[in-house]
Amino acid sequence: MLITPDSTVYPTSLAPYSFQVVTPYLVAHLDSETEQDTVKWIRSLQKAAKNSPADHLPDKILRAGRKIALEENLYDVVFNEKKPLGMKLKPKSKRWAIVTQAKPDSGIAVGSVLAAVNEQQVHTTGYHQVVTVLKQWAPPLKLTFRAPPKGGGFLQERTPTSKKWKMRYLELGR
């Protein structure tokens, strides 16, 4: 995982003691064994992001790493006619636009991060500027998304009726 100055780290509720790391090239959901460990990880990763120079690796390694990360996680959705986009975005930090709802026929996966609009990278542009661009779009429109994480594991879920914790298996899919 490549931590850059524009990476964000914050707690999530996906599992006990879980947190998310969002970089320009990867979205990772992680957890630790205790709340104290989670806080230490979050603070350490936030400090690493804040203090990491943008050019701390040779250009050749950076380009190769970015290419691999982007090829594995990106997908495009193209709109050739003016119509509703069929999705709702929510800001995650001040920069990231995350898909929170999507129509089944839109080709857009919930949990995806909007990475580019018409080949222009938007992951560092800012959520509000991205929304402004999307409100004024004209065909053709090409949206590039970073796919949501894929994986699975056990988590504890609190049942609404009995308020007891039960172990459940969660499958995350792209």
Question: Per the structure block, which two tokens stand in for 22?
Answer: 């969002």
Q: Give pLDDT tens digits for 63-86.
A: 666 665 555 678 899 999 998 999
Residue 11 lies in a domain: yes
Residue 73 · residue 146 · CB < 8 Å: yes
* pLDDT over threshold 80, residue 30: yes
pLDDT of residue 174: 45
Q: Are residues 80 and 140 in the same domain?
A: yes
Q: Give pLDDT tens digits for 113-123.
A: 888 999 888 87
pTM value is 0.52
pLDDT of residue 8: 86
Residue 163 lies in a domain: no
Q: Please report, for the domain that includes residue 135, its CATH number.
A: 2.30.42.10
pLDDT of residue 156: 74
Question: Per the structure block, which two tokens stand in for 10?
Answer: 């914050």
d(CA 45, CA 3): 8
Element of type H or E holding 37? helix 35-51
Q: Are residues 32 and 91 in the same domain?
A: no
pLDDT of residue 146: 86
Cβ partners under 8 Å of residue 20, min gap 6:
9, 10, 11, 12, 14, 27, 28, 29, 30
Q: Are residues 91 and 140 in the same domain?
A: yes
Q: Are residues 86 and 115 in the same domain?
A: yes
